[in-house]
Amino acid sequence: MEKDTQPESVSSVLKVFGILEALATQKEIGITELAQRLMMSKSTTYRFLQTMKALGFVFQEGESDKYGLTLKLFELGSKSLEYLDLIALADKEMRYISEQTNEALHLGMLDGTEIVYLHKIDSGYNLRMQSRIGRRNPLYSTAIGKILLSEYSAETVRDILKNVTFISHTDKTLKNIKQLQEELDRVRGQHYAEDNEEQEQGLRCVAAPVYDRFGYIIAGLSISLPSIRFEEEKLPYLVTLLQQAGKNISEKLGYHSYPII
């Protein structure tokens, strides 16, 4: 494995996965045995193990030369499976809302300092929001973003957004963290969030939370429509549709205390 002709970056990836696969076969392995099994030098094996240990994927048994896998890979895999389940569960609920409203639906989650769209159903109207799965948007100017941030304390919200510049996408975009914190207080109290033309001129969005089995908000479900089709008196109806969908998804993920008012 040491004398391959692969590009260095590819070779390194192969070595990392070789170590992971070897460690998965038994609880703990010493460097000498691991190096021999993978046909790598002890120094190279040690270097990779120390990096993987620093990243939290590997643990070292005391001061010995024995190493094993932590649960971090299991956690990553579990999250992946959970989001696959989440999309499948959300699709059914989103299609129902789409049938009732003919408007665009989005499922989004937090990724760093932004939201990323996991799933969407387009509006049946010609005048509609243009979006795509994988697209990112700011947390502070979107309904889903506000829902996701409402999970956290004011201090944590400040920490998440400490390096984020509040860009005024429209004249209604929130200007700073203070305005956002005030908005999040309302979101926490009413269990839904709004984007009142804050991200895009002429576009209104409403979002409700989706909880995992531990009661944490893991995603937001939103409906988006042009302002010319938005009627204020129908807001409660849209909120009810979204919250009921969020409740149904959350219950199938194992959470049974959805806070519908």
Same-domain pairing of 43 and 100: no
pLDDT at 261: 64
Q: Average pLDDT in the 197-209 region?
A: 95
pLDDT tens digit sequence for 166-188: 999 999 999 999 999 999 999 99
pLDDT at 81: 58
pLDDT at 188: 96
pTM for the complete prediction?
A: 0.70
Q: Judge whether 160 and 152 are in contact, CB under 8 Å.
A: yes
Same-domain pairing of 31 and 69: yes
pLDDT at 147: 98
Query: How far apart are alpha carbons 40 and 21 in whole angstroms?
Result: 14
pLDDT at 227: 92
Same-domain pairing of 173 and 187: yes
pLDDT tens digit sequence for 214-242: 899 999 999 999 999 999 999 999 999 99
| Average pLDDT along the chain | 89
DSSP-derived 3-state class of residue 97: helix
Pick from 81, 116, 133: which residue ends a domain?
A: 81
Give the Å distances, CA to CA, from 7 to 10, 43, 47, 169: 5, 20, 19, 43
Query: How far apart are alpha carbons 222 and 125 in whole angstroms?
Result: 17
pLDDT over 90 percentage in the chain: 61
Same-domain pairing of 104 and 119: yes
Within a domain: residue 5?
Answer: no
pLDDT over 70 percentage in the chain: 90
Same-domain pairing of 141 and 167: yes
pLDDT at 2: 47
CB atoms near residue 174 (< 10 Å): 18
pLDDT at 6: 55
* CATH assignment of the domain containing 16: 1.10.10.10
Angle between helices 42-54 and 8-23 (to 10 degrees): 80
pLDDT at 72: 83
Number of domains in the chain: 2
Q: Is the pLDDT of residue 7 over 70?
A: no
pLDDT tens digit sequence for 45-104: 999 999 999 998 999 887 778 898 888 887 777 666 566 688 999 999 999 999 999 999
For residue 93, the enclosing domain spans: 84-253
Considering only CA atoms, which of 180, 100, 101, 102 is closest in space to residue 143? 180
Same-domain pairing of 42 and 118: no
Among the residue ranges 36-40, 181-185, 193-197, the one predicted with the least confidence is 36-40
pLDDT at 10: 77
Within a domain: residue 41?
Answer: yes
Q: Is the pLDDT of residue 137 over 80?
A: yes
